[in-house]
Amino acid sequence: MNKSIAVLAGDGIGPEITRGAIEVLKVVGERYGHKFEFHQGLIGGAAIDQTGTPLPEETLNICKKSDAILLGAVGGPKWDKNQSHLRPETGLLQLRKKLELYANLRPVQVFKSLRDASPIRADLIQDVDLMIVRELTGGLYFGTPKGRSIQNGVETAVDTLFYEKSEMERIVKKAFELAQSRSKKVTSVDKANVLESSRMWREVAENVSKEFPDVKLEHMLVDNAAMQLIRDPKQFDVVVTENMFGDILSDEASMLTGSLGMLPSASLSMSGLHLYEPIHGSAPDIAGAGKANPIATILSVAMMLRMSFNMDKEAEAVERAVNDVLDAGFRTADIADGEKCITTNEMIHEIKAEIAGTGMISSIMAIYA
Ligand code: NAD
């Protein structure tokens, strides 16, 4: 199969981790007889520096002509004081809106060998397998009015949490569809005791649930959900929530897996052009130091293979390689817990070797086969 992939590396550790993901895809292509073509586009701070805008038209065109999009991360202190239309994050928000990437799927799975890397007790996180479904094109990040002003001599700031009912319906429906192929339970997270938008969200969830009688629906207030994620994460299967709640809860959930550097995501559109990215940011504090964990991005590529290209066995090969490399004890600094750690490039190299069948674990298995 031939597939064309737009690669938007972005800022900070973005270039290092997307480079790793491209290398992994090349090995997958060689092993399974596919041809992946990569087309680089500018986004975020890198795009501001080179073109004066965080999402150049050319980048959007590259994305539209591709079969899938791989994104690194955007942002950094260099652009933090820019006006909002010239902030790196604005480029990413515009991309999500323009391509209608409304459903952000964030699977949280704990790798057996990393149980001790999490600050949460191993018995609590054992067998955790949940999916956060975050609404991505509405809510506080996009609502208007938005901005700062002086009113009667008083400095004010406003953000608006706005949703059309249809936007809530499509994301909740997506969560129910996903739950049907999992443990058939949806937890809808809101703040219905305070927010009008959450009361509508709850109503929508109730209505949508009638179309899925085989799936159990429960409602949970977001503050309780934040606590329950740590107290008893195994109670969750699919968690569906609005944009900002999903953003915060998924960073929290990443600590179940040991590090933000472990969590992949897929952002799905109605058109079929989907975007894949790690959930973490550009980590400027470790950019260029060889300390970035590339696994979240590599697992995002596995999601791309499965969800955009229907390449299930190729996706499994990538996931198995990650698992085997972790089982063999290889760790980047964020998951090393005082043990000896390897660099970003070394981790990429180990994962590639496992996929190619030339890695240490594959070689040992071949001896005993
Ligand atoms: P961050 O996710 O970049 O980093 C938080 C902490 O986690 C840092 O200590 C970082 O070193 C660590 N970390 C993150 N990814 C890692 C990885 N792969 N391996 C090892 N350690 C990792 O969040 P932040 O520091 O709050 O934000 C930095 C910049 O990223 C900001 O400009 C922010 O706006 C931006 N951001 C971008 C995105 C995105 O592009 N999707 C998401 C979140 C934040």
Is 172 inside any structural domain? yes
pLDDT of residue 117: 84
Is 103 inside any structural domain? yes
Q: Among 191, 223, 257, which residue terminates a domain?
A: 257
pLDDT tens readout for residues 231-281: 999 999 999 999 999 999 999 998 899 899 999 999 999 999 999 999 999
Residues known to be catalytic: 141, 191, 223, 247, 251
Residues 270 and 245 in one domain: no
Lowest mean pLDDT among 29-33, 109-113, 196-200, 275-279: 109-113
**Structural domain tally of the chain?**
2
Ranges of beta strands (E only) in 215-362 are 216-221, 238-241, 264-269, 274-278
From CA 315, how far away is CA 301, in angstroms rounded? Answer: 8
Is 114 inside any structural domain? no
Count of other CB atoms within 10 angstroms of residue 221: 15
- 279 C-alpha to center of ligand 1: Å? 8
Residues 123 and 251 in one domain: yes
Is 113 inside any structural domain? no
Residue nearest ligand 1's atom 40 by CA? 73
SS3 call for 150: strand
Residue 364: is its pLDDT beyond 80? no
HSE-up of 292 (CA within 13 Å, CB side)?
Answer: 31
With a 6 Å cutoff on the Cβ, whether 76 touches ligand 1 is yes
With a 6 Å cutoff on the Cβ, whether 16 touches ligand 1 is no
pLDDT of residue 340: 84
pLDDT of residue 94: 97
From CA 127, how far away is CA 108, in angstroms rounded? Answer: 10
Q: DSSP string spanning 68-111?
A: EEEEEE---GGGTTS-GGGSHHHHHHHHHHHTTEEEEEEEEE--
Residues 95 and 158 in one domain: no
Residues 93 and 43 in one domain: yes
With a 6 Å cutoff on the Cβ, whether 3 touches ligand 1 is no
Residues 274 and 189 in one domain: no
Residue with tokens 């400095």: 155
pLDDT tens readout for residues 89-132: 999 999 999 999 999 999 999 999 998 888 899 999 998 999 99
Residue nearest ligand 1's atom 16 by CA? 261
The conformation of residue 140, written as its DSSP 8-state character, comes to: G
With a 6 Å cutoff on the Cβ, whether 282 touches ligand 1 is yes
Is 290 inside any structural domain? yes
With the most atoms of ligand 1 within 8 angstroms of its CB, the residue from 260, 285, 295, 332 to mutate is 260
pLDDT mean over 132-151: 96
Residues 61 and 11 in one domain: yes
From CA 152, how far away is CA 146, in angstroms rounded? Answer: 18
Residue nearest ligand 1's atom 33 by CA? 75
Q: Among 257, 289, 309, which residue terminates a domain?
A: 257
Q: Which residues contact 187 (CB under 8 A, 6 or more apart)?
A: 218, 219, 220, 225, 236, 237, 238, 239, 240
Is 112 inside any structural domain? no
Residues 303 and 341 in one domain: yes
Residues 39 and 101 in one domain: yes
Residue 363: is its pLDDT beyond 70? no
Residues 318 and 247 in one domain: no
Is 15 inside any structural domain? yes
With a 6 Å cutoff on the Cβ, whether 283 touches ligand 1 is yes
φ, ψ (nearest 5 deg) of residue 51 = -130, -10
Is 234 inside any structural domain? yes
Lowest mean pLDDT among 66-75, 106-115, 302-311: 106-115
From CA 93, how far away is CA 79, in angstroms rounded? Answer: 16
> 242 is in which domain, residue-wise?
119-257
- With beta carbons less than 8 A apart as the criterion, state whether 321 and 355 touch: yes
Residues 250 and 128 in one domain: yes
With a 6 Å cutoff on the Cβ, whether 89 touches ligand 1 is yes
Residues 89 and 185 in one domain: no
- 285 C-alpha to center of ligand 1: Å? 9
Q: CATH no. for residue 153?
A: 3.40.718.10
- With beta carbons less than 8 A apart as the criterion, state whether 18 and 297 touch: yes
pLDDT tens readout for residues 154-190: 999 999 999 999 999 999 999 999 999 999 999 999 9
Q: Among 214, 237, 257, which residue terminates a domain?
A: 257
Residues 125 and 236 in one domain: yes
Q: Which residues contact 170 (CB under 8 A, 6 or more apart)?
A: 102, 103, 270
Looking at the DSSP assignment, which residues form a beta bridge with residue 35? 2
What share of the chain in percent tops pLDDT 90?
A: 91
